[in-house]
Chains A and B, each alone.
Chain A
Amino acid sequence: MEQVTGQGQASFARAPGLLLLGGAIVLAYILLAILAGSVSGYDPDIIDLNQLLQPPSALHWFGTDHLGRDVFSRVIHGARIDLYIGFAGVIAPLLIGTLVGLVSGFFGGPLDALMMRLVDLTVAFPFFVLVLAIVAALGPGVESYFIALACVGWVTYARIIRAEVLVIRSRDYIAAARTLGLHPLYILIRHVLPNAISPVAVYVMTDIALIIVFGASLGFLGMGSQPPTAEWGVMIADGQTYISSAWWICFFPGVAIVLLGLGFSFLGDGLASLLRAGR
């Protein structure tokens, strides 16, 4: 996934703070997702027609929606789905991009040229438009979204890894390994990969946040998770009709997305300054 960022100049002293804060937020979400059943208090899908559109109260902390479902329970259960979208969605782009970047940067030649043209071609499309077009072709649903991510999202990883590999390739220890007669694949996996992977670790954090936001956007547009799934984007779409009378249906799922996004961003930023300080 394409992301334009400048270089932050965070100092080493601040890095653990950001890292801890981000890690705490993400961990809290993961725990909530695992324990959703016992934390939430209500079944997220249970319809209670006596409790329609109730404002937040001691009984229903985040209020209830147009079917009387408890918004707090739905937001908590939504963490399961949205975290799943984020973690599962990042796998294919990460693996494909890393593989392409490694091979293409290390071996060079016509394969590299071809891969880089493919990268140029992919970034010629606005990210969300291409994802949307692929999802439209395959039919709505989270699986289509994952396929679209695999087709489009690998590009940034390939670029990051390739840039690292081009630098590492000319280092002395690689030359030494070659002189020893080690197999190129062995050098690639044993020596190049571990040294090239750290910027990717940083980007994965940002990428998971983006994948969750875009996944929720698809859910909102009716192209991702389908109702009545308690997915945050779907919930916001549900609440949009009642926005003037019952703001809480839309409000809380959105806050859940923003907070989780902040968590992953802090984690990424903290990791980045930690790695910079380590170099």
Chain B
Amino acid sequence: MGLFQLLIRRCLQLVPILIGISIVVFALVRLTPGDPARLLVGPRVAEEVLVEIRQRYGLDQPLPIQYARYVGQLIIGDLGHSFRYKIPVSQLIFNHLPPTLFLVCYAIVLTLIPTLILATVAARRQGQWPDHVIRVIGVAGMTMPVFWLGIMMSRLFGVSLGWFPVSGYGEGFVDHLHHLFLPAVSTAIWVTPILVRNLRSALLEEMDSDYVLAARSKGLPEGYIFRRHILGNSLLPTLHLLGVLVAYLLGGTVIVETVYAVPGLGQLMINSVLARDYFVIQGLTLYFALATVLVTFAVDVATAAIDPRVKL
């Protein structure tokens, strides 16, 4: 089967997921205790206004019809209005997107080199002290609450040493790099251990394989076998995991952005939750889910394109 056919089949698999996501997101706001009409216009409104709002937005219709209406609006890109910012939710998301994207990419870049080094050391020294040390540090990194780490790092590097700004996003590329360094490091500390664990076990698995034995019996040096044969074969599963993790990173930025006051999607999410700005919460949840599904999709397709053994 050609790659093109695989693509089409994988696309068709997306359809039920997308429908499911839209139902969940629709239900999130409808299941909220209280009158949805009040959510639209805020708490202090006369009864007549509420009746009119219900009619205008079809809130007096049965739920399936309301759902159909919601999906119709989604298709034309209408996510509703924020009653706090008084602008369309889609525009709000668009405005807050750049810092979050920047942060996620930055965190990934900071993750890659430590992951490669730590996993390689752990695998080549399997069962010896470097392996144990890396393992314990990894567990600590994974269980450390991101918000606490963020506060502690901004206190140390921001307030005491004054090396980095502790909040905001800055102007221009270099300034962004400077402002987002601590948030990106906080995120990387949490992601790196997961990737290290994965790459380490992939490396160990490859080290045991027959072709490595063959290479050894030819008398090739260990370092050469490792770089030339083992590493390449172990990277693909880790790349795949990295793709899955991008979704987690998007979710993880919710906390990091709040701690460092980065004006991104995560901070928007928290502020909207605190202000009960339901249509923004709904729109963002939808956005995060779509991003997750599309990233996973892209990673699957890329893996299949690189490695002919992978079937979608």
Contact = CB atoms under 8 A, between A and B. Distances in A.
Interface in A109-149: 117, 120-121, 124-130, 132-139
Contact of A6 (B143, B155, B202): B202
A243 interface: yes
Contacts of B148: 236, 250, 253-254, 257-258
A9 B135 CA distance: 11
B198 A129 contact: no
Nearest to B147: A220
Chain B interface main SS type: helix
B273 A129 contact: no
A266 B272 CA distance: 37
A125 B288 contact: yes
Contacts of B250: 126, 129
Interface size class of B (residues with CB under 8 A): 35 or more
B273 A126 contact: no
A6 B251 contact: no
A129 B284 contact: yes
A129 B17 contact: no
Nearest to A236: B148
B292 A221 contact: no
Contact of B198 (A6, A217, A265, A266): A6
A254 B156 CA distance: 15
A126 B288 contact: yes
Chain A interface main SS type: helix
A138 B273 CA distance: 11
B164 to A, nearest CB: 15
Given A126-B251, A240-B151, A134 B201 contact: no
A9 B31 contact: no
B155 A126 contact: no
B16 A117 contact: yes
B285 A133 contact: yes
A137 B21 contact: no
9 contacts: A6-B200, A11-B127, A121-B17, A126-B288, A128-B252, A135-B273, A236-B145, A240-B151, A254-B148
Given A137-B281, A236-B151, A261-B144, 9 more contacts: A5-B194, A6-B199, A9-B127, A11-B127, A126-B292, A129-B284, A137-B278, A221-B274, A236-B147
Interface of B: 16-17, 20-21, 24, 28-29, 31-33, 126-127, 135-136, 139-140, 142-149, 151-152, 154-155, 159, 194, 197-202, 204, 241, 244-245, 247-248, 250-252, 254-255, 258, 269-270, 272-274, 276, 278, 281-282, 284-285, 288-289, 292-293
